[in-house]
Structure 1
Amino acid sequence: MSYLLTQLANGLSYGLVLGLIAVGFVIVFTATGVLNFAHGSVLLTGAYLVAVLQPTIGFWAAAVAGVAGAAVLGVLVNAVLVRNLAEANPGTAAILMLGVDILLLTELTRRIGNRVLPLGAPWGADVVALGGVRLPAARVIAAGVAIVLFVLLWFLFARTRAGVAMRAAAADGDTAALMGIRLSRTGAAGWALAGGLAAVAGIFLTSFPSPGVAPTVALSAFAAIPAWVLGGFDSVPGAIVGGLVIGVATSLTVGYEAQLHFLGNGIGEVVPYAVMILVLLVRPSGLFGRKEAIRV
């Protein structure tokens, strides 16, 4: 029983980290209508900055710098590339983001090489015992930080003028512009917020179970895509729920892989996409996504 509870707790904490990444996808999509396939490289950039800076300025200052650097990178991608698209076409923007992802990942891979850069996280390999469940401290801290950030996001979108402006721009950009809301400003804020969230997720993904920062960390963002699609392209609560569903499903599959050997090795890597497909067959707009009205 304790083993099952451990796997569930691991899945929930991992799902919350995936939710941070998935929420970034949602914010960029609702703010600018872009499928941000460069999100993985932004995540890796934030983690890389932390690993490079922490020997000089310490972990906490490096973490702040990494989050800020990822946020600035998001703003630059939006300002230099997305806003200058000749035609606001989602397909063109998605292809553009794939190109940005390849360029950033290539440069970061060149800089990192075949090394694994230590993150210098103060919690290290500590373990926290909660009843009969023993969890890595990194997972417990990640869950706590993610929950705090989700509460802050709720406050931002529900209680502040900037958040209301972002919601209005996402719901109807033309009407929001007529009401005096600057779409360029809300778009930049959305990209900055998504970049910062990705960097926070990157810090926890590179402290456990990964021993440090390596180019393969960028693939973690792609693991969050099923969570994003599952919850609905435009739903922040859906992204969080989607992350939890994918996290628990992945953790249980990996934890009981020996009993599921008939499904083949590495089934845990496939489960997120299988769950996504099954849900989309029933609800094409995702669990919380808005259905578009079709007038006839």
Structure 2
Amino acid sequence: MSYENLVLAFDGCTARVTLARPDKLNPLDWSTVKELKAAVAEIDARGDVDFVLLTGQGRSFSAGGDLDGYIRLYRAPADFQAFLDDFYDMLTGIEKSRAIWIAAVNGVCVAGGIELLLACDMALAAESAKIGDGHLNFGQLPGAGGSQRLPRAIGLLRAKHLMLTGELLDARTAEAWGLVTRVVPDAELIASAEAWIAGMATKSAVGLAGAKRLANLTLNLPYEEGLREEIAFVHRYATTEPDATEGLIAFKEKRAPRFGAARED
């Protein structure tokens, strides 16, 4: 499909999704959410995308929802429910995607922006970034998973602090709290994300997708059930996936693994 609110580009095994309404601080209005949902589907349908770099144009990753749009949606309850459902589908689509989604947070990341960040697998931030919940600053509540993902990411007390105070954290504090794992100079944000991708691209794509799936079990399964699912998944992977054996042989032969070679043959 054609996109008006974002730019979707492909380069080998990597896709780049860039929110592209910098004049409005890249709002996550209904049309943008629908486009992101479509982009997730398009990326997964290709079958050859292992990494997605997600960022925003201008001075914001995303400042959250479009306020005028919300007022209209609040007055049309059925439409508001449909919007929330689309937002849910889009974010869970990112979590379930086989690709590794990396958020490169530039500038302001608040409300719906932090909910989008929390659905990604990895995140780094520019030094100028400001990250927080912010919903209650304007009498709103998180409706795109923020109340559930944020405590899982940084702990209940810190999550409540961000939700109840509306405070925006500077990038270094966000790193210390675990919202991002690295802070870099603004000019190096995209290059740093690309360096992450280059490093991971030497690994098994099937293994990366499997590791993401296993880690995400903690979101949905009780501890013991998750352990059992891990055993079952790893057994399938090790006994049916050529990359598992190739990695061991390469280590034994003291050479770089040739992941994916057996499938390409």
Higher relative contact order (CA 8 A, sep 6+): 1
The TM-score, its normalising length taken from structure 1, stands at 0.25
